Amino acid sequence: MQDDVTSAEKTEIAKQTERLARLTNRAMIASAQMQGHAVAQASGAEYALMDAGTLAKAYGTFWTDMMSDPSKLMDIQKTVGTEMMAAWQAMFGMGSDEPVKDKRFKDQSWSDDPVSRSYRDVFLAFERATDGLLDRLPDGSKDHMRVSFYTRQMMSAMSPSNYLATNPAARKELMQTKGESLLAGLENLLTDLERGEGRLDIATNDEHAFEVGVDLATTKGEVIFQNDLMQLIQYYPTTKEQHATPILFVPSWINKFYILDMKPENSLIRFMLDQGHSVFVVSWVNPTRDHADKDFADYMTEGPLAALDVIRDITGEEKANVLGFCIGGILVTAMLAYLAEIGDDRIASATTLATMVDFENVGEIGVFVDDDRLESMRHHMAEKGYLDAHHLQDMFSMLREKDLIWSFVESNYLRGQKPRAFDLLSWNSDSTRLPSAMLLWYLEEVYLQNGLRKPDALELKGVKIDITKIKTPCFILATQLDHIAPWRSVYPATDFLGGEVEFVLGGSGHIAGVINPPTERPKYNYLTSATYPASPDEFEAQAEVHEGSWWPHWARWLDARDSKTVPARKPAKKGKYKAIEAAPGSYVTAD
């Protein structure tokens, strides 16, 4: 029996040795790819979210400001000294016995292992000291915001939870699996590097768990029109009668449209069909070099305006409701101003979700956008004609680095686990490219110049636009924890727009707060108010809190504006706008 066990052990060792050899060979190739990627970024051949010169300038400005105010510096030194003392106390086991709430250290082993506990407590004390220093930076300076943002990135990277030697849970798993977790983690790391061709493309979701059109975006519909920029989908009704006024969904073109049609239980499209609406959706193309010259005005004319023409032909209705999500909402807002200027009142009502109109304070995302970065981006896209999808994906991940970067570093690489299946993260990783003409105009005119809120600052198709001239009834949703469209930068629409406005502040963030369907156990609430004071803080203080999803509230708002019903409309099988292909269409699945 002993000989059999020994033989089995030898076989297992041989297998693991062979596996390690394969991984070593893959690691050498991946290392070469990483070096090539790093050289390309350093030389400017590849676009980088931040350059060393800009970062050095920001930290130089920070220290100059600190040294120019000795009293502030002394106060900061005192605060930092207090935290440093706490750090030393923690190092020698004299720290507080209160439970640590930081979810990076939720595993009980962080408290049970005295060495790991010391690492944890020292790190947290240093992090508090750093936060105390950064909290004293004056607002309004982009250099100070960069210092705060990138210092936080460095602190997050330094967490002992990110390293095998200091992470007790990962070490325990290493021992329990007899090294299997380490090999699996290395395999996960190499797979991510290979997928990114030298760039670490961290897997946040089981890439085999969902298939668009099979598990996601399954609501029945037909593509009934397409052009160079979009396919227009008409969905089959789920009620015998429908509201006379159809509704057009205009999603963001930074990601795919199916965020609005995930699984049946959290599909906003399906929900609206069940409320008796005729639903049409724009599915944007994933741009290639051929789309390099498509600008923001092209997205308007070949996107929602072209779709509205088709919808009017199909339904016979002169007016339609329209919804825009994120940058799709910015396009809808600009389109409303354009239509107001030319005297076209084809929009019955407009809804925008997580859509900024005031870019004065865009939050941390502003660290990535300035004149220098714009010039670097312009140079990068001159030959390719577009910005690769991963740049924006990396940027959004850095805004929530603990959740979207380092938590996966720990689970995927240190513990050798595969990411779980999660529909929202699956969609989040399915990003799209952005054509150069559109992106450069948008970043310069809307983002940097804040042109959307300035009368006549923006021009579309030769027409200067002014959003204060919009008289269309507007429903505006913002979410409290949105790190992409901060709700305080969405709220000014209540003042800028010239017509009736219904502003709703939902819970959670940019995606989860929007895709928040009605359920028996509500996740988030939402806030409304009969009046809109100038200050968003005053709105929050006076607003009424409602439990559950904002979706039914929005449906009631739409219902109040359209009491007329018609027999349910189905996509045509013949005629000018006959079905081209079944939803979700081919544009959404194109790489």
Tokens of 258: 């199916």
- The two tokens of residue 196 are 């990114």
Distance CA 73, CA 77 (A): 6
CB 19 within 8 A of CB 183: yes
| Burial zone of 456 (CB within 10 Å; 0-12 exposed, 13-18 middle, 19+ buried) | exposed
Give Cα separations from 586 to 212, 253, 285, 286 (angstroms).
Answer: 10, 15, 9, 10
CB 499 within 8 A of CB 337: no
Whole-number Å distance between alpha carbons of 588 and 164: 40
**Largest Cα–Cα distance of the chain, in whole Å?**
91
Kindly give, in sequence order, each residue whose CB lies less than 8 Å from that of residue 555, ignoring residues fewer than 6 positions away. 271, 272, 275
Strand 347-353 to strand 320-325: parallel, antiparallel, or no bridges (unpaired)? parallel
Which residues have CB under 8 Å from 439's CB, separation 6+? 377, 381, 387
474 is catalytic: no
Structure tokens given for 336? 């409303």
Q: Is there a cis peptide before residue 237, judged by omega within 30 degrees of 0?
A: no
H or E element that contains 235: strand 230-235
Measured between alpha carbons, how far is 565 from 542 in angstroms, rounded to an integer? 37
Integer Cα distance of 440 and 446 in angstroms: 10
Distance CA 207, CA 211 (A): 9
Q: What does the alpha-carbon distance between residue 103 and residue 357 come to, in Å, rounded to a whole number? A: 35
Tokens read off for 296:
């923001």
- Per the CB < 8 A criterion, the answer to whether 229 and 577 are in contact is no
Q: What are the structure tokens assigned to 492, written together?
A: 């000014």
Closest CA to 229 of 265, 264, 253, 204: 253
591, 558 in Cβ contact below 8 A? no
Phi, psi of 161 (to 5 degrees): -70, -15
Closest CA to 380 of 436, 327, 431: 436
- Which listed residue (189, 223, 308, 326) is catalytic? 326
Q: How crowded is residue 5: how many other Cβ atoms within 10 Å of its Cβ?
A: 9
Q: Which residues are catalytic?
A: 326
